[in-house]
Amino acid sequence: MTQTVFAYLLDHDGKDFQGDQQRQPLVAWIKFKLNRTGQSDKPLRLWLNQALLLKRNTRMWIPRHKDGGVFFPEINVPYKGTLKKEGRFLLSDDQVRLIVSGDNDWEYHRELQVPEGSKDSRWKTLRKNKLLSNLLQFDLKPSEGDELVLAFPFSAVSRNVVRRISAIGPHKARAEMIDYWHKRIASENMTVRVPEKEISDLYQAGTIGTLTGLDLENSRLLVRGGMFSYEGVWTLCSTLNIWQLDLQGFHDEAYELLELWRLNRLKITEDNKEFAEEELGPNFIKMGRQGRLNGFFMLPFEFGGIRWACDHGGVMHAAAEHYLLTRDEDYLSQWLPVMLEGCRWIRDARRWTDHDGYPGLTPPLRSTDLGGFCQTTWGEGWNYWGLRSVCRVLREINHPEAETWEKELADYRATILRHLKQAVEKCPTWTTASGVGTSFVPWNFGKHQIDNHGFYVDAGPVFLIASGVLDAHSPVAQER
């Protein structure tokens, strides 16, 4: 079986809805196709869980307190509204949630009953994880080429809109979207060509892993980290995706998405301080009490996600790159004061000594999903890169503080390299399979050891090369 998915924006030219993003229906067309079948003549039964699509599209992944601990809302809970199957539609409160295209037999189960007498342990697992609620059951004919085609509106739509979606159908919708993106990509100001055709094609038409959600209550776009536990806004993942949008020429979208960090900052209050200390660590709380959080890019807890030390530099880098790629002076007038605040936070945090970490680096903060608070090559690398990118902006516009911040940048780099050299000297040496002796290069600076090295590859010391801290030809970089 193969699965094909694509997004279709009804009225993608904006004529009917006047470009109003809150009213333009976004639909996911999903096709399942049987490529090969067995000998049985029984239909192939497919179950899909409908829980996430039955929630409001503004739902966030929000940590809350309960009995002094932290828990997360249930991902898969029974839908409490009126839900019913009507013809080829699944309805909630007379709004359409699902369109089934074709003649496949299907049913909706508010709660699927376990077959009586079944000893299959998989049913127990499904019940334990609450995956038997809100199930859509489809039967495909056991013949090669049989298809199941579904249309999921991003949010519930009226029957009039459904009639338009159904009239277009999946094939015409896909052709329209391909044509739209070909024209859109061709019209962008930025074009990149390299000799390798495959790489050029990937850059021009490749899908960026950006999931955006529309917060209807506050009229703002959010860049989500993914689905389920990653449905919140994970700052570094989000800003990396925004930077990629800019690199592909989607500057208006990047501009709008970056606004989230310019307009929203975390504040420590009596209501959230207990969770804040658990999530961010004692150093962050102390900095807050001492008024040292001004300029730090960190979203309020309501946006979900885990706050890593690298987030601050990620926002600074994406914000600076947007100006360097667009030379938008109106944007710069809004963001320059904020960028300078971010620079001042790095400078002041490096000089703050009321913590048990190494001096000259930013204080030990959350640096992995594992918990624990330490100074890492990943966190320092990103904050260095953010400062470096803002320095490029200041130099480009001949800002009077450009030289000041370039000196700060040079000192920051020298400090990181000094502490890295000392950390490497304390690590064990080992011999490679080819008989070459080498040193282990740690992913943190050694004062706060975290035994698990699960983040060594995706958040390890090699990043110091990408961020510009470490020369790729230096002895430390050459260590395997």
First to last CA, the chain: 42
Average pLDDT across the chain, whole number:
79
Q: What is the pTM of this model?
A: 0.71
DSSP string for 155-198: S-B-HHHHHHHHHHHHHHHHHHHHHHHHHHHHHSS-----S-HH
Q: Give the model's pLDDT for residue 377.
A: 92
Q: How confident is the model at residue 52 (pLDDT cuts 50, 70, 90)?
A: very low
Range 290-314 average pLDDT: 85
Q: Give the model's pLDDT for residue 312.
A: 95
Q: Is 252 helix (H, G, I), strand (E, B) or coil?
A: helix
Q: How confident is the model at residue 336 (pLDDT cuts 50, 70, 90)?
A: very high
Q: CA 21 to CA 17: how far, in whole Å?
A: 8
Kindly tell me if the per-residue pLDDT of 292 is higher than 60. yes
Q: CA 32 to CA 136: how far, in whole Å?
A: 14
- How large a percentage of the chain has pLDDT more than 70? 79
DSSP string for 93-111: TTEEEEEEESS-EEEEEEE
107 phi and psi angles, rounded to 5 deg: -140, 155
Range 289-301 average pLDDT: 83
- How large a percentage of the chain has pLDDT more than 90? 23
469 phi and psi angles, rounded to 5 deg: -70, -45
Kindly tell me if the per-residue pLDDT of 124 is higher than 70. yes
- What topology is assigned to 203-478 in CATH? Glycosyltransferase (1.50.10)
Q: CA 375 to CA 361: how far, in whole Å?
A: 7
Kindly tell me if the per-residue pLDDT of 345 is higher than 70. yes
Which has more confidence, 340 or 460?
Answer: 340
Q: CA 380 to CA 387: how far, in whole Å?
A: 11
CA distances from 80 to 83, 212, 398 (A): 8, 26, 59
Range 98-109 average pLDDT: 81
**Which range, 49-63, 161-175, 305-319, is most confident?**
305-319
Range 210-238 average pLDDT: 67
Kindly tell me if the per-residue pLDDT of 298 is higher than 70. yes
Kindly tell me if the per-residue pLDDT of 318 is higher than 90. yes
Q: The sheet that has 147-153: what strands, in order across it?
A: 2-9, 26-33, 147-153, 95-101, 89-92, 83-86
Kindly tell me if the per-residue pLDDT of 414 is higher than 80. yes
Kindly tell me if the per-residue pLDDT of 239 is higher than 80. yes
Domain ranges of the chain: 2-180, 203-478
Cβ atoms within 10 Å, residue 152: 18
Q: CA 191 to CA 200: how far, in whole Å?
A: 9
Kindly tell me if the per-residue pLDDT of 76 is higher than 50. no
101 phi and psi angles, rounded to 5 deg: -95, 125
Kindly tell me if the per-residue pLDDT of 61 is higher than 50. no
Q: Give the model's pLDDT for residue 88.
A: 86
Cβ atoms within 10 Å, residue 165: 21
Which has more confidence, 143 or 296?
Answer: 296
The DSSP H or E segment spanning 127 is helix 121-128
Least-confidence region, from 274-288, 302-316, 462-476: 274-288
Q: Give the model's pLDDT for residue 307.
A: 84
